[in-house]
Structure 1
Amino acid sequence: MPDPLCRRTSLCSREAGRKGTNVNGISNAFLRWRDAGVLTRSQRYDETIESIPLRLNAIPASRTYEAVESLVCQPIEGVVDENFSSSRLLAFSQLHSSYGGSTGTYAGVKLKDEGKKVAIVERNDYLGGHIGTLYVDGEPVDYGVQGLFNTETTTKYLNRLNVQYEPLLPATLDNRYVDFRTGKTAPYDGNVVNITATLLLYSAVVSKFEGIADGSFNLPDQVPDELLMPFGQFVQRYHLEGALPLVWTFAHGSGNMLTAPTLYVLQLFGQPHVNALLRGYVRAKRGTAEVYKKAAEVLGSDVIYNSQILKVTRSDSGVTVVVRTKDDKFKQIRAKKLLVTMVPTLRNLDPFDLDQKEESVFRQWMWKNYYVGIVKNSGLPEKASIVDVDPTKAASLPHMPFVWHLDYMGVPGYHAVKIVGDSEFTESEAKELVLGGIRRMGAAGTFPISNPELATWRRHIPLTLAVSNEAVKGGFYRDLYALQGHKNTFYTGLSFCSDYSTLLWDFTNKVLEQMGV
């Protein structure tokens, strides 16, 4: 089934659905869209219909409009209900990916504080990015972003939002190592004897890659071969085996970490991450969601919630965007500049007027599917985290798809879970991987499992954006960064920088300087 938020959104079927699902029952609103050139072709889930005539009498009455494949929205009288003109910045904090908003929210708050006019388009009814906070009897359980680097950027932002914070400390030091494939305990030495010494050794090795020292991809024309070699080979070369448990904690999003290119592992745990770990993390006392609740109060009506982008037109003189809101109104937004904070995949950018230069870059992405949630009623031991290990693999690190941890977060009966798979790994498969693994622990007699269920769940897709080694050597990131400012469009977010909030905010500050806003 097509993603209801991609360009196959059943816009016209929902309009028609008010009076029926076939052409004979189509509404006047549908006719307006047809006459405006909105509907150019239609797709059922099981077939593609090419070049459907726009005259309704040429379409069989039995044909249902279950999904619209192409939306070409013209801002004409009777279609656009409201216009917003002369915004200095239009930020897309979300379009098709699961949850967005960390960098878009940050940019919006910063610019509003500077007296700039901002519009933020958000597909959800809340801001948040990769956050996820479940409140159990008033106690926050973070299952997405759990901590922030303790830097001036972070503390200044939290203070601006009046968010109270404290040092991030582990809820437990009791880790139980289990092979989720069998449900049995497995031998694993995951303890780092001297964390400080290990970090200093690791830092001494990775610090030579200056172009990624701030989490960005400022690579030289001659990309070092070491950044493109499998990370396992890099570890062997520099005798970093003792650091693997620590690296895995932060870089499990790379998937099969030992075979992943070193570049992408270091973007998840490299120089800036080591520095942050040595300095310590902080957390919002009331959960990470509190950060975005407070930011939403600051931004107010500058955020257009529950909205869907229909068309984006850009030029050297500015940008124009048509948005559909939750009440089926169509708003046209004109802005001087556009900041895109979602992941710029071709699917996400479908409503954009991409040119060949942009399309040739964005079509190269590869990514991981990442799911997060909270398990309850499991019977797992209290005040203990369950770590997935695979004794049949090198360093006992599981291969995709895998459950990373079942993390005890300080609230009895609840464990946060993170799951990593390739881009074909589905949500239902991820849920079964979690619950099936827990049930196997019960069957094996490892823990007295009861009736595990998911208390909450979210998708972080796409994540860990990457391209082939050949593309990296060919100057992909040079070409990607060269798109900043092209057609008055600028970019920030996890595809341009390491996916850690503080690093993303620092990168966003630099982009805002480039924008001159």
Structure 2
Amino acid sequence: MLQRTCNTILALWFIFPFSFGFCEEETFYRDVAIIGGGASGTFAALKLKEQGKSIIVIEKENSLGGHTNTYQDPGTRQTAEYGVQVFHNQLVVRDLFKRLNVSWTIAILQDDPFPPRFLDPKTAEPVHYSSPNATAALGAYAAQLAKYPDLERGFFLPDPVPEDLLTPFGEFLQKYPDIQDATFIAFSYGQGLGDYLKQPTLYVFKNFGLDIVRDISSGFIVTANHNNYDIYARAAEVLQRDLLLNSIVASTTQRDDNGVDMNIRTPNGNTRVLAKKLLITIPPKLENLGHFALDHCESITFARFNNTGYYSSLVNNTGLPQNFTAYSVSPDTQQNIPILPGVYNVVPTSIDGVFAIKYGSPSSLSDDYVKREIISYVKKLQANGHANPVSGDPTFVAYANHDPFELTVSPAEIARGFYRDFYSLQGYRSTWYTGAAFHTQDSSMLWRFTDSYVLPPLLKSFGS
């Protein structure tokens, strides 16, 4: 009898925007349920609340922030970023920081104060490599980007898709040799693309776009206290009771034009969320969406994605001097782009003795494997004379798995209009999407994309 009463109430709720007293404790009634509390999900939650919509954010981790990873040394209170580093100098970023009372400044990224080592990613031995003067090549690269200005907004592609965008980036470099001297800079900023030279040029352009090229010379926004997580800590204060952390969707019993009914597994037991709209911000891989009652159209679309692996860590007890910086280059590859899986770089942090080490792979890897490889690489640095003697093994201060990272489809799929069809899912079955798969792995650009192309039609779908 109670279940029948609850079902009647739920049916009425989808029609009339008010809540009832029955089943209140185990059910959340919201205008929008947001899956994922990373950059896109957190931003969307704040903006929707500003527009007077009730929301709930369902996040599997114990905090917001996604790829924003900040470590604070418990003794010195100094911080080290091992995820998102900087933000674009855009109005959407400045407005968000103002909304959250986050102080910021402009920083022009400087060359390394000490000459970096260029080392083989497998052996950690020196490779003969000289960094080219990339100024002219960056200008030529920017001229190529300028041919496709809509790529700065999202996957808005010409029809038909130009062959240059479908070409593997290594072949693109051979076709346009005037940009070759900018390759290593593009690779360094576009970490996480896996087999970089084999990726369609489209994905390189998306990850190292015009706005980044401009900000390299004019400056990026950085938080004044060098603590990017502060953005999400303050967002959590605003959202408060609208957060379900350490929580996942266990099942979806309804997702159609009448709304969404989901069962959520939380640390305090199972609960229920009923929402008029659903906004999914997590990577749309089938393994992530298995509990959302996908139909055939959705399943075949999401099944086309491949992904790379990207892993970030802070390591101490290395014996490396505080001025040690190393970049991986391969001795016999085009433009010396390192062969992955392997270490991207080893750079010092503001915390004495702690080094940031990034690791990438063309496909997903287990955390145990990646951690072993990182420690093995540090030991090779030690064996090759880069470090002072230390007692004991290197240890992880912090580690983050950003897998699945870059979601890609084949050039043939792109040419057949995959992204047109992908974007057409917006609003289908009361479900909307944002996140890196819809644009790029970049917080600032995702905030702008979400603000401009996702939230306006979502809000409009509620009617006047």
Normalised by the length of structure 1, the TM-score is 0.80
SS of structure 2 residue aligned to 1:339: strand
Compared CA separation, residues 305 and 467, structure 1 to 2 (3 A): same
Map of 1:458 onto structure 2: 400
Matched letter for residue 83 of structure 1: T
Aligned counterparts of 1:276 and 1:511: Cα–Cα separation in 2: 25
Aligned counterparts of 1:410 and 1:271: Cα–Cα separation in 2: 30
Residue deviations 1:402-442, cap 9 Å, x none?
11111223222111111111324222221122111111122
Aligned counterparts of 2:124 and 2:203: Cα–Cα separation in 1: 30
Map of 1:474 onto structure 2: 416
Q: Could you tell which deviates more after superposition, 487-496 or 225-234?
A: 225-234
Q: Is it true that 1:399 corresponds to 2:339 in the alignment? A: yes
Aligned counterparts of 1:444 and 1:384: Cα–Cα separation in 2: 14
The alpha carbon displacement at 1:234 in A equals: 1.0
Preserved CA contact (<8 Å) 1:177 1:386: yes
Matched letter for residue 256 of structure 1: D
Aligned counterparts of 1:180 and 1:337: Cα–Cα separation in 2: 46
Q: Which among 286, 290, 308 is matched to residue 350 of structure 1?
A: 290
1:13-412 map, 5 Å: 82-85=26-29, 87-93=30-36, 100-136=37-73, 137-168=76-107, 169-170=109-110, 172-174=112-114, 175-190=116-131, 192-193=132-133, 195=135, 197-214=136-153, 216-239=154-177, 240-286=179-225, 287-312=227-252, 313-328=254-269, 330-412=270-352
Q: Which among 424, 427, 442 is matched to residue 500 of structure 1?
A: 442
SS of structure 1 residue aligned to 2:312: strand
Aligned counterparts of 1:299 and 1:505: Cα–Cα separation in 2: 17
Preserved CA contact (<8 Å) 1:324 1:331: yes
Aligned counterparts of 1:359 and 1:472: Cα–Cα separation in 2: 17
Map of 2:378 onto structure 1: 438
Residue deviations 1:327-376, cap 9 Å, x none?
22x21111111110001111111111111111110000100111111011
SS of structure 2 residue aligned to 1:125: coil
The alpha carbon displacement at 1:81 in A equals: 5.8
The alpha carbon displacement at 1:466 in A equals: 0.1
Matched letter for residue 231 of structure 1: F
Aligned counterparts of 2:112 and 2:395: Cα–Cα separation in 1: 22
Preserved CA contact (<8 Å) 1:132 1:143: yes
Aligned counterparts of 1:290 and 1:449: Cα–Cα separation in 2: 36
SS of structure 2 residue aligned to 1:211: helix
Aligned counterparts of 2:416 and 2:182: Cα–Cα separation in 1: 31
Aligned counterparts of 2:216 and 2:295: Cα–Cα separation in 1: 42
Aligned counterparts of 1:374 and 1:485: Cα–Cα separation in 2: 40
Matched letter for residue 219 of structure 1: L
Q: Could you tell which deviates more after superposition, 386-395 or 318-327?
A: 386-395
Q: Could you tell which deviates more after superposition, 128-137 or 422-431?
A: 422-431
SS of structure 2 residue aligned to 1:253: coil
The alpha carbon displacement at 1:389 in A equals: 1.6
Compared CA separation, residues 424 and 199, structure 1 to 2 (3 A): closer
Matched letter for residue 424 of structure 2: A
Residue deviations 1:473-510, cap 9 Å, x none?
11111110000000010000011011101110011112
The alpha carbon displacement at 1:113 in A equals: 2.0
Aligned counterparts of 1:235 and 1:343: Cα–Cα separation in 2: 30
SS of structure 2 residue aligned to 1:258: helix
The alpha carbon displacement at 1:220 in A equals: 2.4
Aligned counterparts of 1:262 and 1:180: Cα–Cα separation in 2: 24
Map of 2:5 onto structure 1: none
Structure 2: 5+ residue stretches without partners: 1-21
Matched letter for residue 512 of structure 1: L
Q: Which among 363, 367, 389 is matched to residue 423 of structure 1?
A: 363
Normalised by the length of structure 2, the TM-score is 0.88
Q: Report the structure, 1 or 2, having the larger helix content.
A: 2
Aligned counterparts of 2:111 and 2:268: Cα–Cα separation in 1: 43
Matched letter for residue 396 of structure 1: N
Preserved CA contact (<8 Å) 2:313 2:397: yes
Map of 1:513 onto structure 2: 456
Aligned counterparts of 1:79 and 1:472: Cα–Cα separation in 2: 47
SS of structure 2 residue aligned to 1:158: helix
Aligned counterparts of 1:211 and 1:371: Cα–Cα separation in 2: 30
Preserved CA contact (<8 Å) 1:323 1:332: yes
SS of structure 2 residue aligned to 1:277: helix
- Cα RMSD, aligned residues only: 1.9
The alpha carbon displacement at 1:170 in A equals: 4.7
Compared CA separation, residues 452 and 170, structure 1 to 2 (3 A): farther
Preserved CA contact (<8 Å) 2:141 2:182: yes
Aligned counterparts of 1:173 and 1:402: Cα–Cα separation in 2: 25
Aligned counterparts of 2:195 and 2:62: Cα–Cα separation in 1: 35
Residue deviations 1:386-409, cap 9 Å, x none?
111211322221111011111223
SS of structure 1 residue aligned to 2:288: coil
The alpha carbon displacement at 1:322 in A equals: 1.1
Preserved CA contact (<8 Å) 1:122 1:307: yes
Aligned counterparts of 2:291 and 2:389: Cα–Cα separation in 1: 48
SS of structure 2 residue aligned to 1:184: coil
Matched letter for residue 237 of structure 1: K
Structure 1: 5+ residue stretches without partners: 1-77, 94-99
SS of structure 2 residue aligned to 1:495: helix
SS of structure 2 residue aligned to 1:252: coil
Preserved CA contact (<8 Å) 1:205 1:238: no
SS of structure 1 residue aligned to 2:447: helix
Residue deviations 1:95-153, cap 9 Å, x none?
xxxxx511110011112122221111111221011011111211110000011111111
Aligned counterparts of 1:396 and 1:163: Cα–Cα separation in 2: 40
Preserved CA contact (<8 Å) 2:121 2:339: no
The alpha carbon displacement at 1:79 in A equals: 11
SS of structure 2 residue aligned to 1:149: coil
Residue deviations 1:61-116, cap 9 Å, x none?
xxxxxxxxxxxxxxxxx99961122x1111001xxxxxx51111001111212222
The alpha carbon displacement at 1:209 in A equals: 1.7
Matched letter for residue 322 of structure 1: N
